């Protein structure tokens, strides 16, 4: 489990870095980005809470790093940010010419179908392999939160709901809330998981939320002028599931906002403070 | 002087927009971006102060818009941001295959040489044509400030120093402070202005600052790990000129920071608050 430093840039008195490593789970080299607040560099004998951010279709680990403005808050709150890529990558990795399948569109699932199953195991990568790597190499605690945007919001909700013991809190911007019932989800889940739609339910936040026995707090932010809202995102399905089981879901609609990073940048402070409320209850643990 | 809306995105309860217009000065169509804080949209009967941001080599109007995180402060302070492109553009516009000359590298000068002089008049565009356009179409006052990065920091310093009556305050990140004595400057000024180096001095911030009779306050931020610091930027020349004439220059060195937008994002709040101190002395003027 070695990692190789690709770049390191000072940001808000901490470090914004990119690393490369060989993923056993994904069977290819991967990049991830990480932000270390100043205190994690100065006092690595303590362990700091960490937020995993999952990005959306076509993104890599750099979009959120460059555009969201999250480092300012992470620096203030003393939170490490980990930003993985959105799929396995490389010329030996199966791909599709469309933007919503294949490289850049891993949908955070473990594929069971050819030609995808050799590499496309983003669920296991995010849940197990990457945190183990991060916890081996950086001074992070086991206080983890998870967030993401669009396809990555779907990933954050699904992964958080299926692993409530691993995350203090979950949030999402403009997530794909009900992928079994939208075109992006039907295409990706059909390709990665096959025609049997019962297997899809393990990757549908609205289904999973209705079945949850442990209730990790969730914040979802959604713009009302989002061009994908009606056909692809379906937050009403998540809200209905939450209402039926009294789940602590805070779903906020924001008038005039679209699906872009300008929306994320406008509300990232609210999301990081939401997570901090849970992460920081016991955020420093001596080794 | 018509403008055409290309896109509009909600950001921090204001609007981040891109417009297109035909520039008489540059003799080609141009794009610019603008951020309007919420109050400028709700109460356009008032006029709001404006900060012009000049970007660096290879940039367009979108880099700063997406990466600097300036909208958060502009929204809080009630300041309009105007972000022009860095050169004339188009297939009919002279260009050069290198990144530091031609399209994306206008250096904010009025070119006098072939093949550049037909289009490359960025100085006049930023000083006159663009502000006239902005003031005709948006509720901005004549309280203007100017800032920029690298080549754009050079542009902000030069334009601010040569037009002290037009700007309340000047700032720059990692500016090219002494272009007559660095490789980027020698190449660009030589191409755009010709071999007579006396004409270059009108575009050299360190020369102009030493000659200034009106002292507009200047803030310059420079990272100590900037890969271009020694050979290209030469802040020591600006500092020496300021010392010689007791100019109100605040030059801040920041340990560990490089030339990237991560540096800008880390200190944009300080720059906007610096400008606000001067801009907002009389920031709302009834029409």
For residue range A235-278, what is the model confidence (pLDDT) as tens digits? Answer: 999 999 999 999 999 999 999 999 999 999 999 999 999 999 99
The partner residue sitting opposite A10, judged by closest CB among B11, B72, B258, is B258
Bridge partners of A147, per DSSP, are A53
Q: Flag whether pLDDT at B221 surpasses 70.
A: yes
Q: What is the mean pLDDT of the segment spanning B177-190?
A: 98
Q: Flag whether pLDDT at A282 surpasses 80.
A: no
The neighbour count for residue B250, using CB atoms within 10 Å, is 13
Q: Which residue has the tokens 């102009």?
A: B208
For position A283, what pLDDT does the model report?
39
Tell whether A49 lies on the interface with B, counting CB pairs under 8 A.
Answer: no
* A27-55 pLDDT tens trace: 999 999 999 999 999 999 999 999 999 99
Tell whether B266 lies on the interface with A, counting CB pairs under 8 A.
Answer: yes
The partner residue sitting opposite B69, judged by closest CB among A9, A13, A265, is A265
Tell whether A1 lies on the interface with B, counting CB pairs under 8 A.
Answer: no
Tell me how far apart the alpha carbons of residues A141 and A168 are, in angstroms, rounded to a whole number. Answer: 12
For position B285, what pLDDT does the model report?
44
For position A9, what pLDDT does the model report?
98
Average predicted confidence (pLDDT) for chain A: 96
Q: What is the mean pLDDT of the segment spanning A133-141?
A: 98
For position A285, what pLDDT does the model report?
44
CA A179 to chain centre: 16
C-alpha triplet A208, A212, A218: angle, nearest 5°: 80
| Complex ipTM value | 0.92
Q: What's the Cα-to-Cα distance from B214 to each of A140, B23, B210, B245, B271, rounded to whole Å?
A: 53, 30, 11, 11, 21
User: Which one of A69, A71, A227, A229 makes the best mutation probe of the B interface by having the most chain B beta carbons within 10 Å?
Assistant: A69
For position B281, what pLDDT does the model report?
75
Q: Flag whether pLDDT at B284 surpasses 50.
A: no
For position B286, what pLDDT does the model report?
43
Pair of tokens at residue B59: 């940039």
State residue A23 phi and psi, 5-degree precision. Answer: -90, 120
Q: How confident is the model at residue B267 (pLDDT cuts 50, 70, 90)?
A: very high
User: What's chain A look like in SS3?
Assistant: CCCEEEEEEEECCEEEEEEEEEECCCCEEEEEEEEECHHHHHCCCCCEEEEEEECCCCCCCHHHHHHCCHHHHHHHHCCEEEEECCCCCCCCCCCCCCCCCECCECCCCECCCCCCCCCCEHHHHHHHHHHHHHHHHCCEEEEEEEEEECHHHHHHHHHHHHCHHHCCEEEEECCCCCHHHCHHHHHHHHHHHCCCHHHHHHHCHHHHHHHCCCCCCEEEEEECCCCCHHHHHCHHHHHHHHHHHCCCEEEEEECCCCCCHHHHHHHHHHHHHHHHHHHHHHCCCCC
Tell whether A263 lies on the interface with B, counting CB pairs under 8 A.
Answer: yes
Contact B69 A72 (CB under 8 A): yes
Q: What is the 8-class DSSP label of residue B14?
A: E
Q: What is the mean pLDDT of the segment spanning B277-281?
A: 90
For position A162, what pLDDT does the model report?
98
CB neighbours of A68 closer than 8 A, spacing ≥ 6? A53, A261, A264, A265, A268
Tell whether pTM > 0.80.
yes
For position A281, what pLDDT does the model report?
75
Chain A residues with CB-CB distance to B12 below 8 A: 265-266
């Amino acid at each position: 489990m070695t990692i190789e430093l690709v770049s390191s840039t000072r940001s808000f008195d901490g470090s914004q870095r990119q690393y490369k490593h060989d993923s056993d789970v994904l069977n290819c080299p991967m990049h991830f980005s990480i932000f270390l607040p100043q205190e994690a560099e100065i006092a690595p004998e303590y362990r700091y809470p960490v937020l995993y951010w999952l990005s959306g279709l076509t993104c890599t680990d750099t979009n959120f790093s460059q555009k969201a403005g999250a480092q300012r808050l992470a620096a203030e709150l003393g939170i490490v940010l980990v930003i993985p890529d959105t799929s396995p990558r490389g010329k030996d990795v199966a791909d599709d010419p469309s933007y919503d399948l294949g490289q850049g569109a891993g949908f955070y699932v473990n594929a069971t179908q050819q030609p995808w199953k050799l590499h496309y195991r983003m669920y296991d990568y995010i849940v197990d392999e990457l945190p183990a790597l991060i916890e081996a190499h950086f001074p992070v605690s086991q206080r983890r939160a998870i967030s993401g945007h669009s396809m990555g919001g779907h990933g954050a909700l699904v992964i958080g709901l299926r692993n409530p013991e691993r995350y203090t809190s979950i949030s999402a911007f403009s997530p794909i809330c009900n992928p079994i019932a939208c075109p992006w989800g039907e295409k990706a889940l059909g390709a990665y998981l096959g025609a049997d739609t019962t297997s899809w339910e393990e990757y549908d936040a609205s289904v999973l939320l209705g079945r949850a026995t442990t209730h990790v707090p969730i914040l979802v932010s959604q713009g009302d002028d989002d061009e994908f809202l009606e056909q692809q995102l379906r937050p009403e399905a998540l809200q209905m599931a939450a209402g039926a089981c009294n789940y602590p879901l805070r779903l906020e609609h924001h008038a005039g906002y679209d699906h872009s990073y300008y929306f994320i940048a406008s509300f990232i402070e609210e999301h990081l403070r939401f997570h901090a409320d849970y992460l920081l209850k016991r955020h420093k643990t001596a080794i």
